[in-house]
Structure 1
Amino acid sequence: MKTIGLIGGMSWESTAHYYAELNQGIKKALGGLHSARILLYSVDFGPIEKLQNKEDWESLGNIMADAARKVEKGGADCLLICTNTMHKLTGIVEDAVNIPLLHIADATAQVLVHDKIKRVGLLGTAYTMEQEFYKNRLISKFDLDVIIPDEKDRNSIHTIIYKELCLGQIKTQSQKTYLNITKRLAEKGAQGIILGCTEIGMLLKPEDIDIPLYDTAKIHAAKAVEWALKYE
């Protein structure tokens, strides 16, 4: 089994889910008392959120590259960024290390293609929904048709992520807001919904809506388990 390296803490709420998913995946695969070999570098999200708000991606790139190097130096065999938004800095992170980065959008898209989902709705932070780094990867590499909510709905999604979910707050009204947004995306032809923020899985579950939900944190962790066990 290879060692999985994580850059987490963005937020720690979702990183805790990664830790659980990775260990549960290894236990399911190998049984007994087996658990995942993990190296985690958990950042302080407070300063990072401020830099995101300023769109100071250069400073954020330096932070992420430094974290990646530390994870590699610690002995990790692969690297996961435990947040969708910071995959904007994929190139900088990959250039900083010699170990492979398992991209969250690629892992998710592979499941969508397997499920024959062509037109998909994307929920996430404003950065993930509105900027090209995430959508274009899904479109150009996997030929997916990606639709996003309207501006009002995007603002609601973003606010709930940062003001509630990243703080571990799960509110019924916010769940209703997200469910209504997913229904509107389904009405626009979405065959499935990407939970393109690793915290959203805390709020929405597959049984909540009539079309498939794709929880990127779960999918990403499952891909890492699969990768690590190729070497078993």
Structure 2
Amino acid sequence: MRTIGLIGGMSWESSAEYYRIINQQVRDRLGPLRSAQMLMYSVDFGPVEQAQHAGRWNDAALILEDAARRLQAGGAECVVLCTNTMHLVAPQIEAAVSIPFLHIADATVAAAIEAGTLTVGLLGTAFTMEQDFLKSRLSAQGLTVLIPDADERQAVHRIIYEELCVGVISEASRQEYLRVIDSLAARGAQAIILGCTEISLLIKPEHSDLPLLDTTELHARAAVAFALEGQAV
């Protein structure tokens, strides 16, 4: 089994989900007492969040490059960045290490194509919805990506930072997200990408009439696939 390296803490609420899903997947595939070999370097989200909103992406990248190097030095055989938004600086992180970087968009595209859902709605932070770092990678692999309108994007972003990142789950916010999903469905979305690793804490498959592409679970499953590649299960 290869050792998975996780860069977590953005927020730790979703990083805990990565840890849970990865271990559950390994147990399901290898047996009831089996668990994953992994390292996690969990950063302090405060300085990262401040750099995000100030547009100081290079400062945030330096923090995550250092985390990736520490994981490699500790024996990790891949890097899994447990956040969608900070994939904006994925090229810098990837260049900082010699081990594979498992990009969150690639696992998401594979699941969308397998499900035959090529037109997708994207929910995430304003950075993820409005900038091209994730959308362009999705589009380059065959997906048509729709995003909410400006007011809806503002609401989705606010709920992520003010509620989900601090563990607050509100029924009112769930209904707000479902209204945004309905709006994307009316525009032709065949599925919804939960493009922030906290959104799956709020929106579950039973809440939505559209299929959900949960980037947290898909990314975690990709990490397990890498870890167990070539191993008899």
- TM-score calculated relative to the size of structure 1: 0.99
CA RMSD of aligned residues (A): 0.6
- Counterpart for residue 34 of structure 1: 34
Distance 2:179 2:227 in 1: 38
Alignment match, 2:12 = 12
The answer to whether structure 1 residue 212 and structure 2 residue 211 are counterparts is yes
Q: How far apart, in 1, do the equivalents of 2:171 and 2:229 lie?
A: 41
Corresponding residue for 1:193?
192
Tell me the distance in 1 between the aligned counterparts of 2:95 and 2:185: 38
Match of 1:177 in 2: 176
Q: Distance in 2 between matches of 1:108 and 1:230?
A: 19
Q: Match of 1:88, SS?
A: helix
Mark the runs of 5 or more structure 2 residues left unpaired by the alignment.
Answer: none
Q: Which amino acid letter does the alignment assign opposite residue 52 of structure 1?
A: Q
Could you list the per-position Cα deviations for residues 14-36 of structure 1 after superposition, in whole angstroms to 9, with x for gaps in the alignment?
A: 00000000000000000131000
Q: Could you tell me which residue of structure 2 aligns to residue 25 of structure 1? A: 25
5+ long unaligned stretches in structure 1: none
Letter matched to residue 201 of structure 1: S
1:138 corresponds to 2:138: yes
Contact 1:2 1:231 in 2 (8 A): no
Partner secondary structure for residue 217 of structure 1: helix
Please give the alpha-carbon distance, in whole angstroms, between the structure 2 residues aligned to 1:171 and 1:14: 16
Residue identity matched to 2:30: L
**Which amino acid in the other structure matches residue 187 of structure 1?**
A
Distance 2:73 2:208 in 1: 43
* Residue in structure 2 matched with residue 69 of structure 1 by the alignment: 69
Question: Per-residue CA shift, 1:146-186, capped at 9, x if unaligned?
Answer: 00000000000000000000000000100000000000000
Cα deviations by residue, 1:31-74 (Å, 9 ceiling, x for unpaired)? 13100001000000011111101010111111111110000000
Task: Quote how far apart the aligned CAs of 1:210 are.
Answer: 1.0
SS at structure 2 position matched to 1:186: helix
CA distance in 2, matches of 1:55, 1:37: 35
1:125 maps to 125
SS in 2 for 1:10: coil
**Separation of aligned partners in 2, 1:137 and 1:161:** 23
Distance (Å, rounded) in 2 between the aligned partners of 1:20 and 1:46: 24
Structure 1 runs, 4 residues or longer, greater than 3 Å off: none
Distance in structure 1 (CA, Å) of the matches to 2:2 and 2:225: 10
Please give the residue correspondences for 1:76-115 in structure 2 after superposition, counting only pairs within 5 Å. Answer: 76-115=76-115
Distance 1:62 1:78 in 2: 18
Q: How many angstroms apart in 1 are the aligned matches of 2:134 and 2:104?
A: 10
Q: Secondary structure at the match of 2:192?
A: strand
User: Displacement, 1:231?
Assistant: 4.1
Q: How far off is 1:120 after superposition?
A: 0.2
**2: distance between equivalents of 1:200 and 1:210?**
16
Partner of 1:222: 221
- Give me the whole-angstrom Cα distance separating, in 2, the residues matched to 1:17 and 1:219: 12
Task: Give the letter aligned to residue 69 of structure 1.
Answer: R
Which string of whole-angstrom CA distances, capped at 9 and with x for unpartnered residues, describes residues 101-131 of structure 1? 0000111111101111110000000000000
Question: Aligned equivalents of 1:33 and 1:90: distance in 2?
Answer: 34
